[in-house]
């Protein structure tokens, strides 16, 4: 029998409790209603604004970066769409299944993606997580067809820089990288923001402001995952300006092929105005690798790769010039009146100065040689004697006049200036006076003398264009860009030799002989029907007593082999191309470098007359 509520005391207590409960309930609900009033009526407008802000997003539209073309208008660098695969963790019902499906469809390795996904999903389940960047068109098609099975997936498109020909002219063209903090702060990049890719080297860097364009924006209604529902208003971006370069794609490819298994550089200029026809450095790299944000492993591999592929040897490779320096000494000697062109000097393979004994590369000497022969056969002893007569400081003075020991002013890259020693320098640096014996080495381009390939190309150009040093430039034409004017190539002289034309003619004649006369060291650069002029150079890496210490060149350990130089101009009477080639540890200049120069000259001169940019041949 259950106790009923009928006893009055119980009923009274019950009712009392009930009243208390009723009061509590009313108070609590009153509070809740008050809270609603507070949110919806008192502060409603604030929240209304917030809800509006929530759904309207300002979306950034990155501009289309300007393209890079070669002389004939062939595209070298453009932009292509990159499709990136994202997932919104919150919207994924079965993560495991999704990853498995993606593995089957586009070969996405779940192991790689899972930890990152779990981490980010915990932190912010609404932010899209990138699963795979730059999926192929096939993968894109596959994903789109399986959309229904892939809840939470979205595809984002962005433009990606595309170096169409991979390694071709990689040093010259440069590469893109993320703008860093100091650059943003510097104020030099007012139209860029964090995360933007900007040019970090080469032409990409040089013309960054013109190439970059102006970003646009879009006001769009979006959902919490950032997916666009509709566009409210849009400001289109302004594309960057296209840049036309002076280089010839085929010539460049040829030069790079010639260097392909070697380390070194090739620079080809138009000697009359400084236009760069080709600029190759080996080993090279593929700028496309840097676009994705290169992973640490690959970066370390590239950086520490023996051979330093990122270094542009054409601009910053500093080598002893070896025998090509003899041209400087010859010209200096002529100008100073210390050389009688007819005078013959006896070379028996040995030259003594005080207690020093210096050898000519030809063991038993060249016999009686005048200036012409000395250049043609590259007699060391002739130049030892001439060098002593001049002294290092005079040589240095002429070298500097000819544009050596300072950068050429190339318009798209970091250059090194090379080096020319003087007696004052030596005293200052080593505290010891200059020894005449050292002049001996200088006169054949050894000792402390250092030059870069682009310097030598400019140098030989000046010799053959009447004595004007032109700034080497690779930019032919830059279109008008927002906030920038159009730019056109204009030859820029940076110095004049001011030499007696008769002296120059003498040397020029000798250089023709180097290639075309018997016993000329540059015979491997000879071409049928075209008069090539040039000079070989063999720069010693370490001093060997005599080259005969080794039976053949092949026995010399690679790192001990000399650097091989060849500089050339063709055709000698009306020059259209000047080339400088250096092959590290290539051995003899005549053997290793001259054939490359020949190939380049031949390829360029046998083409049709070069056309104007944009014109298709």
Nearer to other proteins, 112 or 228 (CB): 228
* Closest approach of other proteins to the CB of residue 140, in Å: 20
Contact between 466 and 493 under an 8 Å Cβ cutoff? The reply is no
- Tell the burial category of 546 from Cβ atoms under 10 Å away from its Cβ (0-12, 13-18, 19+): exposed
DSSP code of residue 474:
-
Are 361 and 547 in contact, with CB atoms under 8 Å apart? yes
Q: Among residues 44 and 436, whose Cβ is nearest to other proteins? A: 44
Residue with Cβ nearer other proteins (27 or 61): 27
Give the shortest CB-191-to-other proteins separation in angstroms.
30
- The answer to whether the CB of 284 falls within 8 A of the CB of 257 is no
Point out which residues pair with 451 in neighbouring strands: 319
Task: Give the 3-state secondary structure of residue 584.
Answer: coil
d(CA 571, CA 454): 20
Among candidates 551, 570, 566, which has minimal Cα distance to 322? 566
H or E stretch covering 386: helix 380-390
Q: Residues interacting with other proteins, by CB under 8 A?
A: 2-6, 9-10, 13-15, 17-18, 21-22, 25-26, 28-29, 31-33, 35-37, 39-41, 43-48, 50-52, 54-55, 90-91, 93, 123-127, 151-152, 221-225, 229
Nearer to other proteins, 88 or 577 (CB): 88
Q: How far is the CB of 157 from other proteins (least distance, A)?
A: 21
Q: Which is nearer to other proteins, 34 or 338 (CB)?
A: 34
Give the H/E segment covering residue 83: strand 75-87
Q: Identify whether 323 is a catalytic site residue.
A: yes
Question: Of 113, 112, 218, 213, whose CA–CA distance to 161 is shortest?
Answer: 213
Q: Could you tell me the sign of the dihedral formed by the alpha carbons of 106, 112, 117, 118, in that order?
A: positive
Q: Are 82 and 160 in contact (CB under 8 A)?
A: yes
Question: Across 332-484, where does the E strand assignment appear?
Answer: 345-347, 350-353, 356-359, 367-369, 468-470, 475-478
Quote the least distance from Cβ 83 to other proteins, whole Å: 22
Nearer to other proteins, 35 or 193 (CB): 35
Residue linked to tokens 């469809």:
105
Euclidean distance between CA atoms 51 and 429, whole angstroms: 72
Number of neighbouring beta carbons within 10 Å of residue 436:
13
Residue entry with tokens 């053997």: 591
List the catalytic residue out of 282, 284, 316, 323: 323
Angle between helices 380-390 and 392-401 (to 10 degrees): 100
Q: How far is CA 517 from the centre of its chain?
A: 40
Q: Which of 223/340 has CB closer to other proteins? A: 223
Which CB, 99 or 381, lies closer to other proteins?
Answer: 99
Active site residues: 323
């Amino acid at each position: 029998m259950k106790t009923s509520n009928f006893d009055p005391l119980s009923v009274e207590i019950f009712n009392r409790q009930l009243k208390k409960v009723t009061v509590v309930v009313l108070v609590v609900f009153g509070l809740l209603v008050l809270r609603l009033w507070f949110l919806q009526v008192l502060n409603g407008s604030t929240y209304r604004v917030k809800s509006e802000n929530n759904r309207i997003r300002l979306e950034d539209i990155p501009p289309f970066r300007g393209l890079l073309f070669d002389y004939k208008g062939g595209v070298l660098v453009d932009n292509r769409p990159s499709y990136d695969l994202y997932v919104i963790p919150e919207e994924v019902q079965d993560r495991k299944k999704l990853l498995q499906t993606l593995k089957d469809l586009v070969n996405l390795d779940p192991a790689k993606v899972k930890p990152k996904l779990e981490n980010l999903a915990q932190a912010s389940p609404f932010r899209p997580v990138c699963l795979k960047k730059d999926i192929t068109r096939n993968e894109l098609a596959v994903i789109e067809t399986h959309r229904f099975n892939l809840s939470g997936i979205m595809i984002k498109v962005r433009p990606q820089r595309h170096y169409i020909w991979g390694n071709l002219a990689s040093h010259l063209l440069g590469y893109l990288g993320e703008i860093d903090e100091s650059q943003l702060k510097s104020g030099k990049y007012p139209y860029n923001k964090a995360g933007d890719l900007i040019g970090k080297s080469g032409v990409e860097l040089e013309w960054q402001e013109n190439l970059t364009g102006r970003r646009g924006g879009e006001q769009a209604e979006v959902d919490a995952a950032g997916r666009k529902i509709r566009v409210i208003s849009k400001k289109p971006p302004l594309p960057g300006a296209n840049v036309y370069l002076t280089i010839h794609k085929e010539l460049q490819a040829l030069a790079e092929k010639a260097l392909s298994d070697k380390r070194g550089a090739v620079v080809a200029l138009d000697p009359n105005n400084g236009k760069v026809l080709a600029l190759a450095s080996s080993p090279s790299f593929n700028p496309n690798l840097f676009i994705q944000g290169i992973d640490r492993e690959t970066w370390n591999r590239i950086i520490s790769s023996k051979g330093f592929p990122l270094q542009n040897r054409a601009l910053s490779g500093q080598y002893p010039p070896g025998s090509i320096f003899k041209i400087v000494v010859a010209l200096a000697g002529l100008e100073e009146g210390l050389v009688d062109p007819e005078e013959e000097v006896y070379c028996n393979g040995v030259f003594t100065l005080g207690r020093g004994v210096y050898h000519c590369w030809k063991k038993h000497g060249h016999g009686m040689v005048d200036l012409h022969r000395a250049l043609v056969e590259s007699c060391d002893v002739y130049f030892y004697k001439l060098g002593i007569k001049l002294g290092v400081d005079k040589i240095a003075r002429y070298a500097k006049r000819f544009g050596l020991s300072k950068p050429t002013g190339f318009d798209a890259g970091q250059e090194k200036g090379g080096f020319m020693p003087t007696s004052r320098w030596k005293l200052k640096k080593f505290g010891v006076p200059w020894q005449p014996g050292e002049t001996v080495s200088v006169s054949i381009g050894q000792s402390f003398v250092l030059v870069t390939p682009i310097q030598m190309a400019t140098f030989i150009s000046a010799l053959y264009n009447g004595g004007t040093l032109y700034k080497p430039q690779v930019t032919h034409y830059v279109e008008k860009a927002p906030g920038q004017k159009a730019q056109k190539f204009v030859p820029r002289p940076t110095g004049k030799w001011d030499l007696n034309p008769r002296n120059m003619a003498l040397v020029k004649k000798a250089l023709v002989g180097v290639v075309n006369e018997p016993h000329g060291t540059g015979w491997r650069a000879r071409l049928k029907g075209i008069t090539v002029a040039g000079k070989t150079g063999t720069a010693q890496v370490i001093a060997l007593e005599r080259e005969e210490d080794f039976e053949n060149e092949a026995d010399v350990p690679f790192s001990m082999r000399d650097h091989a130089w060849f500089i050339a101009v063709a055709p000698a009477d009306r020059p259209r191309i000047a080339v400088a080639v250096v092959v590290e540890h290539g051995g003899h200049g005549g053997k290793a470098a001259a054939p490359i120069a020949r190939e380049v000259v031949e390829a360029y001169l046998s083409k049709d007359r070069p056309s104007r940019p944009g014109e298709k041949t």
